[in-house]
With several copies, the nearest count.
Chain A
Amino acid sequence: MIDKQISSPAEAVRDVFDGATVMVGGFGEAGSPIELIHALIDQGSKDLTIVSNNTGSGEVGLAALLKAGRVRKFICSFPRTANSTVFPELYRAGKCELELVPQGTLAERIRAGGAGIPAFYTPSAVGTPLAEGKESREFDGREYVMEHGLKADFAFVKGRSADTYGNVVYNKTARNFGPIMAMAAKVSIVQVESVVEPGGIDPESVVSPGIFVSRVVEVAEPAHESELIAAGVSYP
């Protein structure tokens, strides 16, 4: 008997510890696991390293976690967006460290972390400030930089549906970083709109096979960042 379903977001994020590295899926609001992030705010752990493509908007989701002073370091490709003021303020005040990584390198580092690849070479960022201090090497006459795989203690991911074995499917461009973050974390927590029995998802269409997923939690009607912001919500 295998059942990875957890009763609530609070229960699902219960064991996140101070100093943990947490990968958080999403590209802008698409795929942002807001309910898991809010549960983490309630849960209280601090000194977190967050790996996520953006730093959140308004004062909900990732921006609210930042505002609550719980993030020591952010690993990210694009830490500013239209409605983002929380991260810029913390960053300028020296209260949150930033590791800026090109988006494709970030994705590949996460995938490598999950795939047992400690390092790889990429042409991205060669000759730019983001390659400074990094080892570089020529292959076939072209220069590449060496990048390291990235792993995490936890991943927070938003899917569309999952079965109790942890197989997950996603919704449109909300898929983005979810499948690779689920691979790269020791404990992968996926919130979905519905949890079904094994057999309820076509094995040909599974995007994240259950082996990459530790816990699934049902959030039947997940909030969208833009709607919360439009409604003036500031979490908590």
Chain B
Amino acid sequence: MSESMTQRVGWTREQMAQRVAQDIENGSYVNLGIGIPELVAKFVPEGRTLIYHTENGLLGMGPSPEEGEGDPELINAGKKQVSAIPGAAYFHHADSFSMIRGGHLDLCVLGALQVAQNGDLANWSTGEEGAIPAVGGAMDLVAGVKKIYVITQHTTKTGEPKLVESCTYPLTGLGVVTRVYTDLAVIDVTPDGFRLVELTPGADFAYVQERTGAQLLPLSH
């Protein structure tokens, strides 16, 4: 993006992840999606313990193992090798999705292709001709987890807004997203639409609104 060549506006991926981490309460059961969401685990504030769920059957997921220490049968939903913390538990897929569907997880942090102002999420398919459709556990997560946060770049690589009036891509779930963390701002999905919660360094309201495909309500105090 042109901004980064002159003076950086907004947050890096790590800063986005760090900001999300601040909003997660001690003791939460959390499922982190593949990609930027995975970074969140690195920034959990001192004194808080989170328990990570991975839908392929592990509660108490720990960090990646040291080189050569991994087990190809201990992986996360992204199929990367992970570890298990003391106090972990393994279970089968029906039990794992009972946790999800049954509303037992406190939070899921997901990436997005598009988020609509009513909380609709599209994150599994661009609906492209000839693409192989693949959904995984995304639809179950958004339907079942208590709170869905999205972490995403504010716009696509070509500058198209990802926060929109209504999604044009196939939906993952209806009205499921409660908060969006982007490189430019933290934005809540409210009954009135998108509402700005926090700006990032160098980004003002107009700057964020310009890059948002729906009306943005100002900070409320």
Q: Do chains A and B touch in the complex (CB under 8 A)?
A: yes
Interface residue A153 (Cβ < 8 Å from any Cβ of B) = no
Considering the complex, which residues of chain A in the window 166-206 have a beta carbon less than 8 Å from any beta carbon of chain B? 167, 170-180, 183, 197-199, 201, 203-204, 206
Considering the complex, which residues of chain B in the window 76-91 have a beta carbon less than 8 Å from any beta carbon of chain A? 76, 79, 84-91
Interface residue B191 (Cβ < 8 Å from any Cβ of A) = no
Chain B 61-87 interface 0/1 with A at a Cβ cutoff of 8 Å (1 = within):
000000000011111100100001111
Please report the C-alpha to C-alpha distance between residue A113 and residue B48 in the assembled complex, in whole angstroms: 30
Q: CB-CB < 8 A to A81: which residues of B?
A: 79
Is the Cβ of A210 less than 8 Å from the Cβ of B174?
no
Measured CB to CB, the nearest residue on chain A to B92 is A179
Is the Cβ of A209 less than 8 Å from the Cβ of B99?
yes
Chain A 122-134 interface 0/1 with B at a Cβ cutoff of 8 Å (1 = within):
1111111110000
Is the Cβ of B134 less than 8 Å from the Cβ of A80?
yes
Interface size class of B (residues with CB under 8 A): 35 or more
Pick the contact of B140: A82, A98, A105 (CB < 8 A).
A105
Binds A, one of B37-45, B50-58, B156-164: B50-58
Pick the contact of B56: A88, A91, A173, A197 (CB < 8 A).
A173
CB proximity of A38 to chain B, nearest CB, Å:
17
Please report the C-alpha to C-alpha distance between residue A42 and residue B57 in the assembled complex, in whole angstroms: 31
Is the Cβ of A210 less than 8 Å from the Cβ of B94?
no
Is the Cβ of B53 less than 8 Å from the Cβ of A1?
no
Q: CB-CB < 8 A to A197: which residues of B?
A: 86-87
Assuming the contacts A103-B140, A123-B101, A176-B92, asked whether A224 and B72 have C-beta atoms less than 8 A apart, the reply is yes
How many A-B Cβ pairs are below 8 Å?
224
Please report the C-alpha to C-alpha distance between residue A106 and residue B101 in the assembled complex, in whole angstroms: 13
Please report the C-alpha to C-alpha distance between residue A78 and residue B139 in the assembled complex, in whole angstroms: 12
Is the Cβ of A180 less than 8 Å from the Cβ of B92?
yes
Assuming the contacts A128-B170, A176-B57, asked whether A206 and B102 have C-beta atoms less than 8 A apart, the reply is no
Interface residues of A (CB under 8 A from B): 1-2, 27-31, 53, 77-82, 87-88, 91-92, 98, 100-108, 110-111, 113-117, 122-130, 163-165, 167, 170-180, 183, 197-199, 201, 203-204, 206-207, 209-212, 224-227
Interface residues of B (CB under 8 A from A): 26-27, 29, 47-49, 51, 53-60, 71-76, 79, 84-105, 120, 125, 130, 132-140, 143-144, 170-174
Query: In the complex, given contacts A173-B73, A176-B93, what are 19 additional A-B residue pairs having Cβ atoms less than 8 angstroms apart?
Result: A27-B79, A28-B79, A80-B132, A100-B133, A100-B135, A104-B96, A104-B140, A105-B139, A108-B101, A114-B102, A124-B140, A127-B120, A129-B170, A172-B74, A176-B57, A179-B94, A203-B89, A209-B89, A224-B72
30 interchain pairs (CB within 8 A)?
A1-B26, A1-B49, A2-B49, A30-B75, A77-B137, A82-B79, A98-B133, A102-B136, A104-B96, A110-B93, A115-B94, A116-B100, A116-B102, A124-B139, A126-B143, A127-B120, A127-B173, A128-B139, A128-B170, A128-B171, A129-B171, A167-B89, A172-B74, A175-B92, A176-B57, A197-B86, A201-B87, A206-B90, A209-B89, A224-B72
- Give 3 nearest A-B pairs by CB, closest first: A198-B87, A199-B86, A104-B140
